[in-house]
Structures are given as C-alpha cells and as structure tokens.
Amino acid sequence: MQKLGTYQKMQEHITATEDGIKKLLTEQKGEVLFGDYDCETVGFIYFYQNSSAFTGQSGLYIDGFLIDTALRGKGLGGIMLAFISKLALERGCKRLEWGCLDWNQPAIDFYRTIGAYSLDEMTIFRLSPDQLAKNAGLF
C-alpha cells in the first residue's frame, strides 16, 4: 500500500498498517491477489465483493491495484485483470469496478484497451472518521 500511495502521489493518506490489512483479510472483508515474476511479488490487487440496489447485481470492487514500475507494460496487469474477471464470473458477479485517478493517463489508456469504460457522470463522496462521528451524533 505504501508503494501504491507513493505512485498515486497520496502517500500521506495511506494509514493502513500490516495488522489492519491482516485483520481485513482474516475477517474476510477483503481479498488479495499477488502477481509474481521470477519468484518475486511485483504486483497486487486488493478487492472485495459489493452489490448494487440500482442494478440488483453483485460485483467485485478493486480497491488497490499496483504493478511495480519496472514490470508495467509487460502483460502482468492484463493477466491479473483476466484472472479477477474470471473469478468474478465464477462467483456470479455481473461487473468488476475500480477507481482511477484522473491524471493517471497510462492506466486509463490500459483500462480502455481491455474494454473498461469510465462513469464520468458520477462523483465519489466520502466521510472521514471525524465526519462519521460528527454525523452519527446528529441522531
């Protein structure tokens, strides 16, 4: 996650700890796929299952995806996305979703080559832990 935060120019926002990630995985709130090359882990996809009341369907959501810089463009990302696509279908999911920062044109270009499209008409909103507490205090 630290590598991903650095690449995304958001390292100061990465607060995940090894224990926190282990807890998510142990409690089955998330899953991870690792991409290995020459017996070394050089990529990962962290994901979880979600659902949509709008479509009445389930899907997988990729919350973190990174291939080490030296191996980008060599096919590992495509292999990993093919694997998770197959996994989604095996689980009866109707979609695979993820976010991508607007400035990350190489990733956007790659995603479009595999047939992914963006939902440009939607903005993601988020409440921080402090705002969650403040809003929870309203009731």
**Can you give the pLDDT at residue 6?**
65
pLDDT tens across 123-137, in order? Answer: 889 898 899 999 998
Residue range of the domain that includes 79:
2-136
Which CATH number is 116's domain given? 3.40.630.30
CA-nearest of 121, 122, 124, 125 to 135 is 125
Taking 80 as the threshold, does the pLDDT of residue 10 lie above it? no
Q: Which of 7, 61, 111, 117 is catalytic?
A: 111
Q: Is 111 a catalytic residue?
A: yes
Q: Specify the number of domains making up the chain.
A: 1
Taking 80 as the threshold, does the pLDDT of residue 28 lie above it? yes
Average pLDDT, rounded, for the chain: 90
Taking 80 as the threshold, does the pLDDT of residue 12 lie above it? no
Measured between alpha carbons, how far is 77 from 7 in angstroms, rounded to an integer?
A: 16
